[in-house]
Amino acid sequence: MKNRLTVAVLGGGSFGTAIANIIANNGHRTFLWMRDESVARECEQQRENHRYLPGVPLTAGLEVTADLAYAVSASDLIFVSIPSHSFRDVVQRIEPHLKAEAIVISTAKGIEPQGFTLMSQILEQELPHHRIGVLSGPNFAKEIVQHQQTGTVIASEDESVIQCVQKTLRSETFRVYANRDRYGVELGGALKNIYAIICGMAAALGAGQNTQAMLLTRSLAEMGRLASSLGADPMTFLGLAGVGDLILTCTSHLSRNYRVGYQLGQGKSLDEVVNGLGQVAEGINTLRQVKQKADELKVYMPLVSGLHGVLFENQQIADVARGLMLGENNFDVEYIGRNI
């Protein structure tokens, strides 16, 4: 890998802006692409992303642009930080402009409904001749830009991708760990959003620490069970992209999905909560897809089923909670051949 790369970060949300800042600060030529030309021009001129990271100056040398071809055509490394519902469209648009040797990394934590497709699988389908990877972990952008010590995970089957991303992103406060289970790392990032809604709802209803500990642990069990049935390594969920991201997202008001659950627990309607959020809460869409996939594969996911019942089947929270507690007794930890 060359010492100085040209890097494009696609998506002007909080996380895309945060990692673009790190990359530019590490001395690489860096583009931050935003879809809206007027917003991109304002961020470039004022050197700040007012909407997502107000008060945080953009690193000198970071160029904000709305010209997608310009951002990617010279780039050695591209991070796609686009919400899952727009991910495929943006990837299709960049394909004609990519350098042959360009590496493309997904940072999106969601699932495309058609075919239960993960973002890196979209990269495989749309960019079959490019090296790809996934970046995921317990990474609140607001803390990254405050230089809080943070760990993340780069997952790829290609060692050159892992090394490139580690060298490009590492800093005194941002550490990048390696994993070759791309599917498991990506599933962890998508699935935990569902359980953040559940934990936020429980907190609003006055759940104590015993309850929250139980919810976190059973959530991890469900995540590992589905991932294993889909061919991922359940041990991946013991790392940063699994239990690390789960703990972060399920215990903090900085999490959009936790805030959704908290407001639902306060009695607000789903439409009211989503309309007032102002940002994408991936957990709502992911819940529908995971419930369908779990039913199809006959994977036991009682928390997913319970939340789906509350949000989409007019079930009462109290009735769902009672059913979960009085359900069939099962084993605490599963290794082979047992339901949890």
> Residues 330, 339: contact at Cβ < 8 Å?
yes
What are the φ/ψ torsions at residue 181 (nearest 5 degrees)? -90, 75
Q: How far apart are CA 245 and CA 80, in angstroms?
A: 19
For residue 188, give the amino acid letter. G
For residue 252, give the amino acid letter. S
Q: How far apart are CA 50 and CA 338, in angstroms?
A: 50
Q: Which of 121, 127, 249 is CA-nearest to residue 186?
A: 121
Known catalytic residues are 192
Compute the Cα dihedral for 153, 154, 155, 159 and give only its sign: negative
Q: How far apart are CA 4 and CA 26, in angstroms?
A: 9
Residue with tokens 């309850």: 211
Q: How far apart are CA 249 and CA 257, in angstroms?
A: 8
Contacts of 220 (CB under 8 A, 6+ apart): 237, 242, 243, 246
- Compute the half-sphere exposure of residue 222: CA atoms within 13 Å on the CB side of its CA: 26
Q: How far apart are CA 65 and CA 245, in angstroms?
A: 31
